[in-house]
Amino acid sequence: MTKYNFDKVVCRKGTDCIKWDSTPLLWGKKNLLPMWIADMDFPSPKFFTDALIKRIDGGVLGYGCRPDRWYDAVIKWFKENYNWKLKEQNIGFVPGIVVGMAHALRCFTRPNDKVLIFPPVYPPFASQVENACCKLVIREDAKGETFDINWKDFEKKIKGCKAMILCNPHNPGGRVWSRAELKRIAKICRENNVFVISDEIHCDLSFEKHIPFATVDAVQARNTITFHAPSKTFNVAGVGASEWVATGKEVAKKFADYLKAGEFDFGHYDSFLPATLLYTPKGREWLNQAMDYIKGNIDYVEKFLKENFTHPTLEFTGKKVRASNEEFAEAKVTETQLIKMIRPKASFLIFLDFRPLGLSQKELVEFIVDGAHLALNDGATFGAGGEGFMRLNVGCPRKTLEQAMKQLKTAFNKRYKL
């Protein structure tokens, strides 16, 4: 077995890297540690990068084609990991999931159609609906930190919608939907004739059993398209390779014809290497080790937050007590964790909960940026329910994460004089 070193710190500065080279431009500051956009700082699997180097060393970078082994690899991956039996006509190529989502909206909806999303959720869901000239419908979640579905609101809002975008697993909360939840979603969509776009890019990074949405209801599956990719899973987003899956014949043909007509399904020279090389036992070996390391990072953050941001507070009972002939309000000391987290059940992204601090969103962003010198995703950008939160990327060497937590603690202690 090959042992991979995820502690290795790779300098990505000066490599045209969005995460590191765009941060000073986007935030207007040069001293921020970037822990935001969802790619990892781990080296991609060496056997994969070796194959890229070998191909480039061939010296001719002409047009590429989609090989049969690409279909074979995708079909095998879904069968082995999710017991989802697919055929070649069920799958196709898109250069990215957001690109695929944008095309799906234009293919299966028309301007002014209503499209429902589940905020707080990945920001392009809302922007792509609006860019497709559709009407955005916001489904409210039940209160709490588990992203439980408010079924009453869902059933009300879904009426009249042409489509719905599902995040499975959910980003930013890392929620892995249960089979029962997915079946209920499917039933409601089926009864309302709603087309479902299911973004399942984080599914391979799930710590619990992932269930593809299109496998829970055979009828709704015929009115669903799923997007998946090796990009998040193996940290190869820069190669530009994703796939769509549709088991409904009409949906598959319509989308394939739409993409072909605009040549939107044309991959570049290396587009088909990720799936063919990484959807393999060697890829699984790397992924298993990466998941163990990510889990360790999640454990580290959870422990750090509990140990460093839990503080005693006085809780008054309303009773009166007498001491030395004087009357006092009775109180007891309780502990309050002032910075918490929603533990993700999938992926390397943590939604940090700063609400106990009582800061406005503007104050929170200033605290993180100007105080902690961190570049995190602003929770408010994920939509309703994201206020009071910031998203932290822990797909990085432990040394980087330790530095981020140290900066957060320093800023906290300075602000609250601790």
Give the model confidence (pLDDT) of 30-82 as tens digits: 999 999 999 999 999 999 999 999 999 999 989 989 999 999 999 999 999 99
Domain boundary assignment for the chain: 18-44+284-310+337-415, 46-56+64-283
CA neighbor of 98 nearest in space, from 231, 223, 194: 231
Residue 311 has a pLDDT of 86
| Other CB atoms within 10 Å distance of the CB of residue 213 | 24
CA 304/CA 406 separation, integer angstroms? 10
Residue 316 in this model has a pLDDT that exceeds 70: no
Q: What percent of the chain has pLDDT over 70?
A: 94
CA 402/CA 297 separation, integer angstroms? 9
Q: What percent of the chain has pLDDT over 90?
A: 88
Domain 18-44+284-310+337-415 and domain 46-56+64-283 have a common topology: no
Segments in 132-238 forming alpha helices (H): 151-157, 179-191, 218-221, 231-234
**Euclidean distance between the first and the last CA atom of the chain, given in angstroms as a whole number:** 48
Q: Mean of the per-residue pLDDT values for the chain?
A: 94
Give exposure, 24-61, as e/b (b: 16+ Cβ within 10 Å).
eeebeeeebbbbbbbbbbbebbeebeebbeeeeeeeee
DSSP states along 35-88: --SS--SSPPPHHHHHHHHHHHHT---------HHHHHHHHHHHHHHH-----G
DSSP states along 209-232: ----GGGS-HHHHTTEEEEE-SHH
125-138 pLDDT per residue, tens: 999 999 999 999 99
Q: Which two tokens stand for residue 227?
A: 């997007």
DSSP lists the bridge partners of residue 164 as 116, 196
Residue 288 in this model has a pLDDT that exceeds 70: yes
Q: Which two tokens stand for residue 139?
A: 């489904």
CA 320/CA 341 separation, integer angstroms? 36
Question: What count of residues does the chain have?
Answer: 418
Residue 330 in this model has a pLDDT that exceeds 70: no
Q: Any idea which fold 18-44+284-310+337-415 has?
A: Aspartate Aminotransferase, domain 1 (3.90.1150)
Q: How confident is the model at residue 332 (pLDDT cuts 50, 70, 90)?
A: confident
The stretch 224-241 carries a mean pLDDT of 96
CA 31/CA 99 separation, integer angstroms? 32
CA neighbor of 195 nearest in space, from 168, 219, 175: 219
CATH code at 46-56+64-283: 3.40.640.10
pTM for the full model?
Answer: 0.94
Residue 141 in this model has a pLDDT that exceeds 90: no
Q: Which two tokens stand for residue 95?
A: 């250069």
- Give the Å distances, CA to CA, from 260 to 107, 199, 250, 253: 12, 21, 15, 10
Q: Which two tokens stand for residue 214?
A: 């299109």
